[in-house]
């Protein structure tokens, strides 16, 4: 009623103007009136904020459970294989080696303890599924595999003549899903080949490690986890270069008791010190010759 009366009063006061001009002015005055009334009444309608109940808070937490923030380690729905090292598990997303993705191990040189680092995971996988070794730098030895706890009947050694054949074999094994773990040793790999391997790994639940030289750390990679490995006395130094989570600054030292160097290190540390007393030299007395 107030709006209609205001519009009629405005129309009587500006009746000498044209119909179009009158209508536009009336509309502007009505909008100004509505805006003023709404602002004046809004201050009286403000209510205190409603407190969320415990059920609403739990529902909100459940809805945001799968939302990953860059300041925390990601928690995905994919499975992961425990590394067997509690110190390393606490720094990895999903507390273990991720499956269905590409994992890069960047080595300073081959044979610094990378197989001993993977020993718990490989031993657990080889008991129920096959483990494929593609182009390893050294010939696999049955005695060494048994020492690592691997089931030799479940080991598959692929010796490819060229790099292209090795990449093709790896892709086919990943897409087939017949192996529980795949280890591929390469030196120079193009980014297109890395993307193809990563896509192939996403189709199965295979744990896929790509072992490359440490110099490849500066290259771009689609791997969700990249770890640099360096030799250390009694173990191995682990530096997490890339992960789904905050940046990791300090490298980790993982003790590897099964390494021969570790065993020699422990023997030197626990060796019993033997103190040798200086030997006494008795001077010789030459007897006088008879003249």
Residue 239's pLDDT band (cuts 50, 70, 90): very high
pLDDT at 9 over 90: no
Sheet arrangement for strand 155-158: 155-158, 130-134, 179-185, 207-213, 101-107, 225-232, 235-242, 252-255
Lowest mean pLDDT of 17-31, 111-125, 173-187, name the range.
17-31
Opening angle at CA 38, ends 33 and 43, nearest 5: 140
Select from 6, 7, 9, 5 the least CA-distant residue to 24.
Answer: 7
Average pLDDT over residues 77-90: 86
Q: What percent of the chain has pLDDT over 90?
A: 51
Q: Helix 191-201 vs helix 163-176: angle between axes, to the nearest 10 degrees? A: 20
pLDDT of residue 264: 54
pLDDT at site 157 = 95
Q: Check residue 274 and give its pLDDT.
A: 45
């Amino acid at each position: 009623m107030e709006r209609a009366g205001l519009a009629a009063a405005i129309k009587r006061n500006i009746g000498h103007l044209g119909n179009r001009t009158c209508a536009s002015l009336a509309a502007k005055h009505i909008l100004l009136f509505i805006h003023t009334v709404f602002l004046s009444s809004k201050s009286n309608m403000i209510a205190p904020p409603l407190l969320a109940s415990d059920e609403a808070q739990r529902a909100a937490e459940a809805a945001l459970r799968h939302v990953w923030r860059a300041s925390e380690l990601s928690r995905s729905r994919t499975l992961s294989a425990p590394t067997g090292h509690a110190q390393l598990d606490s720094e990895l997303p999903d507390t273990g080696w991720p499956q269905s993705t590409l994992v890069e191990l960047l080595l300073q040189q081959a044979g610094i303890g990378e197989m001993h680092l993977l020993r718990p995971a490989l031993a657990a996988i080889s008991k129920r599924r096959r483990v494929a070794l593609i182009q390893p730098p050294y010939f696999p030895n049955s005695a060494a595999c048994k020492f690592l706890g691997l089931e030799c009947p479940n080991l598959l050694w692929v010796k490819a003549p060229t790099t292209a054949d090795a990449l093709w074999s790896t892709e086919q094994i990943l897409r087939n899903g017949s192996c529980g773990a795949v280890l591929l040793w390469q030196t120079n790999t193009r980014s297109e080949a890395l993307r193809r391997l990563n896509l192939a790994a996403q189709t199965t639940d295979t744990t896929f490690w790509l072992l490359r030289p440490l110099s490849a750390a500066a290259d771009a990679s689609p791997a969700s986890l990249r770890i640099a490995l360096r030799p250390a006395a009694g173990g191995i130094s682990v530096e997490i270069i890339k992960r789904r989570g905050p940046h990791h600054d300090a490298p980790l030292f993982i003790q590897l008791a099964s390494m021969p160097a570790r065993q020699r290190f422990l023997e030197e540390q626990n060796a019993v010190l033997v103190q040798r007393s200086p030997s006494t030299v008795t001077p010789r007395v030459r007897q006088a010759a008879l003249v």
